[in-house]
Amino acid sequence: MAGIKKKIVICTQLTERVKKHWPVDYLISYGGFSRARSGFFLILILFWGIQTAAQQRSCGLHERYDTAQLTQFTKKNTPSRLNVDNGLKLNSRSNHYIPLVFHIMLEEGRSPVTLNEIQDQIEVLNETFNAINPDLAYLPKDFRPFSANTGIQFCLAYTDHGIGPEPAIEQKSTELPYFGEQVNLQGKLLIKHEILGGFDAWNTQKYINIWISELSAYQGFATLPGEGPSDEAGIVIDPDFFGFHPNDHEKYPFNLGKTLVHEMGHYFGLLHPWGSEETCDSDDGIEDTPVQGKIYYGCPKHPQYSCGSADMYMNFMNYTDDNCLIFFTEGQKSRMWQMIDLYYPDLMRDQFCRDFDSGDSPVDDIWILYQAAPPALKLKRFTPAQSIVRYRLMDAAGRTVLSGSFYGESEKDIYLNNIAAGVYILFLQDEKKFVSRKFVFL
Looking at residue 7, its pLDDT comes to 26
Domain 358-441: give its CATH code.
Answer: 2.60.40.3080
Compute the residue count for the chain. Answer: 442
Percent of the chain with pLDDT over 90: 49
The pLDDT score that the predictor gives to residue 286 is 93
Of the candidate ranges 11-25, 112-126, 139-153, 375-389, the one whose mean pLDDT is the lowest = 11-25
Domain boundaries, the chain: 2-52, 61-352, 358-441
Mean pLDDT of 261-279: 94
Per-residue pLDDT tens digits for 327-336: 999 999 999 9
Note the pLDDT of residue 3: 35
Banded pLDDT at 1 (limits 50, 70, 90): very low
The domain covering 61-352 belongs, at the CATH homologous superfamily level, to: Collagenase (Catalytic Domain) (3.40.390.10)
Average pLDDT estimate for 206-234: 95
Rounded distance between C-alpha atoms, residue 344 and residue 8, angstroms: 45
Band of residue 144 on the pLDDT scale cut at 50, 70, 90: very high
Residue bearing the bigger pLDDT, 431 or 210: 210
Using a pLDDT cut of 70, give the percent of the chain over it: 75
- pLDDT tens, position by position, 337-359: 999 999 998 887 654 543 333 34
Per-residue pLDDT tens over the stretch 15-58: 333 333 333 222 222 222 222 333 333 333 333 333 344 468 98
- Which pLDDT does position 10 carry in this prediction? 25
Give the N- to C-terminal CA distance of the chain in Å, as an integer. Answer: 36
Number of C-beta neighbours around residue 216 at 10 A: 13
H/E element, 159: strand 158-160
Each residue's pLDDT tens digit, 168-213: 899 999 999 999 999 999 999 999 999 999 999 999 999 999 999 9
pLDDT tens for residues 375-419?
Answer: 888 887 756 556 778 888 888 777 788 888 887 667 888 888 888
| 59-108: pLDDT as tens digits | 989 888 988 998 889 888 876 444 444 334 443 344 468 999 999 999 99
Lowest mean pLDDT among 16-30, 124-138, 269-283, 420-434: 16-30
Higher pLDDT, 25 or 365: 365
Give the whole-angstrom CA distance, residue 347 versus residue 269. Answer: 15
Pairing of strands 152-156, 158-160: unpaired
Spatial CB neighbours of 412, under 8 Å, sequence gap ≥ 6: 378, 379, 391, 404, 406
- φ, ψ at 153 (rounded to 5°): -125, 160
* Mean of pLDDT over the chain: 78
Half-sphere exposure of 440 (CA within 13 A, CB side): 2
Which of these, 314, 363, 378, lies nearest to 144 by C-alpha position? 314
pLDDT at 362: 58
DSSP 360: -
